[in-house]
Structures are given as C-alpha cells and as structure tokens.
Amino acid sequence: MTPHPTPLQAEKLLDSHRLIAADKVQGASVYSTEGEKLGTIDSVLIDKYTGTVAFVFLSSGGFLGIGEDFYPLPWAELHYDMRQDAYVIGMTQAQLQQAIDAKNAQAPSLVDTLLGHESYDRAKA
C-alpha cells in the first residue's frame, strides 16, 4: 500500500508540475501581454457540474482593500507565464475597465452573462 503524501509533500509535488492548488491561484498576479499589471486573482469559480475552472475574479485598483474593483475573467483566456510566475491575458487596463465590474453588477444577471460568455462555451466543449 502506497502511503499518502503529507500536505507539504503534496504542495511541493503540485508546484513542480502542471497542476496548481486553488489557494495558490488566489493572490496570483495578472498582467497584460504588454507587461502591465492588471491586478491579482481574488477568487476562482469552478463549474459544479464539470469540475472545470470557469472564471476568476480579478481584483484591481484600490488601496488596502478599499475601492477595489472586481472583474470576472474567463479562465480559458488566462495563460501562465513561468518567467513572471503570473498569469497573462490579452487585455489592456483600458479594456479591463470597460468590462463588467462585478461589485456593481446584479448577481443573477452577472451569472447569466458569465455562463453565456463565448470563452466559457468553448472551455466546456
């Protein structure tokens, strides 16, 4: 019988391969393809039925948690950059500010918008 790894061993195993623990994604930086820091990942949204990551909420702006904006970003459009130890998305700060600010959106319509987003449809196919 193979012994189960300790939490520390499991974390080292995850960090050294393609897998990453969700708590490591939270707090990760997100940059534009031009190298501009857009913010950090605040939370990860997982599709309950498929088990796949659908979206992340990006926290941007503010100071010490005051005045932050939260933007849903499709997980399929984020790419991990090993050199930066961060995620990159093909979006500028100006484009981000035109996106839906989840803090000011109504929950039911936000969920409907996210679930109908074309990148989410591609990801679950």
Q: Domain range holding 101?
A: 26-124
Q: Is residue 102 part of a domain?
A: yes
Q: Is residue 78 part of a domain?
A: yes
Instruction: Give the pLDDT band (50/70/90) at residue 120.
Output: very low
> 24 versus 29: which is more confidently predicted?
29
* Residue 64, pLDDT score: 65
> 105 versus 48: which is more confidently predicted?
48
Q: Is residue 62 part of a domain?
A: yes
Q: Is residue 37 part of a domain?
A: yes
> 114 versus 18: which is more confidently predicted?
18
Q: Is residue 19 part of a domain?
A: no
| Number of domains the chain contains | 1
Closest CA to 72 of 51, 49, 50, 54: 54
Q: Each residue of 53-111: pLDDT tens digit?
A: 888 888 887 666 666 778 888 898 999 998 888 999 998 888 877 765 545 544 445 45
Q: Is residue 18 part of a domain?
A: no
- Domain of 120, CATH number, reads 2.30.30.240
Q: How far apart are CA 30 and CA 43, in angstroms?
A: 13
Q: Is residue 87 part of a domain?
A: yes
Per DSSP bridges, beta strands 79-81 and 53-60 are unpaired
